[in-house]
Amino acid sequence: MKVGYMRHAGADLKRMDTQLTALQSAGCETVYTDDAASKGAKLVAALGSLNAGDTLIVTKFDRLGKTIRGVVDLLNQLASRSVRFVAIEDAVDTGTAEGRYLLGVMAKLALMDKALVNERTKMSLAIAKTKGRTGGRPIALSPEKLDEARKLIDGGMPVRAVAKIVGSSQATLYRLLGAKQLGSDSN
């Protein structure tokens, strides 16, 4: 069985008609259509309707996902289920040797893309660190405020009152000073 899938993001009816005509010309018995509101639900339905030996047909690769990695993962899933994939405008057919080769190349490109993103992220973090910037959430209390809170609590003041004085929450004090250190003070 040949199953078509098309996705559109707006009211571009001409593009929708073009996709539908291409899918019907390719012999699709059923065509699933996603729009911005369905958020990929029809793609899930299309994938669920496929059995071994079936073919999923799209007009272009970009109809399947937003990232190379997402498309490659989906194509690998289809291959593992013995489902053929055809992208009409991109002239790709995983039922041919060339199509399977292209799938392998795309998988390598997705891995390379992921590695490059990781490398750039690490480089940017290292540069930021040399400039004295660190990522993450700002510290909840300055060391001075934390020492003040510790002294007040050690002096017998309830955690709730100390939290108001240092401008923090009770949960922050418990987290930073440790529940054991503060005892079971629930005031």
Q: What is the pLDDT along the chain (187 residues), one digit of tens a residue?
A: 888 888 776 666 567 778 888 888 888 888 888 776 767 778 888 888 888 888 888 887 777 777 777 777 888 888 888 888 888 887 778 878 887 788 778 778 777 877 888 888 888 888 888 888 877 777 778 888 888 988 898 888 898 999 899 988 888 888 888 765 555 544 4
* In-domain check, residue 119: no
Task: Check residue 164 and give its pLDDT.
Answer: 92
Domain identity same for 85 and 171: no
In a domain, 105, yes or no: yes
Q: Which residue segment(s) compose the domain that 160 sits in?
A: 143-182
Q: Is the pTM of this model over 0.75?
A: no
Q: Under a CB-based contact definition with an 8 Å cutoff, are residues 57 and 1 in contact?
A: no
Residue 4, H or E segment: strand 2-7
The answer to whether residues 101 and 172 belong to one domain is no
Is residue 57 situated within a structural domain? yes
Same domain, 87 and 152: no
- For residues 76 and 7, membership in a common domain is answered with yes
Q: Is residue 93 domain-resident? A: yes
Is residue 41 a part of any domain in this protein?
Answer: yes
Sheet strands (E) in 35-166: 55-58, 84-87, 92-93
11 shares its domain with 103: yes
CATH code where residue 91 lies: 3.40.50.1390
2-15 burial by CB neighbour count: b if 16+ within 10 A, else e?
bbbbbbbeeeeeee
Tell me how many domains the chain contains: 2
Same domain, yes or no: 147 and 107: no
123 located within any domain: no
Q: What percent of the chain has pLDDT over 90?
A: 1
